[in-house]
Amino acid sequence: MAEDAAFHREQTQVAAGVAAAALIAIAAIGVALWRGDGPAEPAAERLAIALRPDLFVIVWLLAAIGNVARLRFFSAQDIAGSATTVASDAVRRGNAILQNTLEQAALAVTVHLGLAATLPHPAPLLLTLVILFGLGRLLFWLGYARGAAGRAFGFALTFYPTAFSLIVGLAVVLTGRAA
């Protein structure tokens, strides 16, 4: 009974974090989309606009890889690598953060390039997405050890802006308004 109550409480906290991040994502995307108008920028420039800030997305992937390497280097249990030993709790947590960051970065960079190819003025939206990605990754990483409720807001602040922007890009393509 107490276990059910604790599970329900954590679910409620996760849902609150996810809902808050989703609302922030919707508001930020709306503001960013409102800021771009005029004739479409050349396609090559739009792609460059996506790739430059996406270097900051990749920095999070680099940091997650570096963190696992650091944790392994300073651990007698982990220095031999995961193929030969059972990882410590710290390395398992680092690997989980790395795996999620890899998944989020692959999705984000792909969506950002699609938006750059699709939207006539992608810069405001792409910069907004990269800022939300970085803030989301930071909060996810800091909250990870506190469980699902601790990482929910950061996860959602990374995921939902990308997901909602993908929907925007698909809507633009499907309605024939692509640049």
Over residues 11-21, the mean pLDDT reads 95
- Looking at the predicted structure, is the pLDDT value of residue 2 above 90? no
Cα atoms found within 13 Å of the Cα of residue 178, Cβ hemisphere only:
12
d(CA 131, CA 67): 21
Could you tell me the two tokens for 54? 């996406």
The CB density around residue 80, as the number of other CB atoms within 10 Å, is 11
Average pLDDT over residues 120-132: 96
Model confidence pLDDT, tens digit, residues 60-99: 999 999 999 999 999 999 998 877 779 999 999 999 999 9
- Whether residue 105 contacts residue 162, with contact meaning beta carbons closer than 8 Å, is answered with no
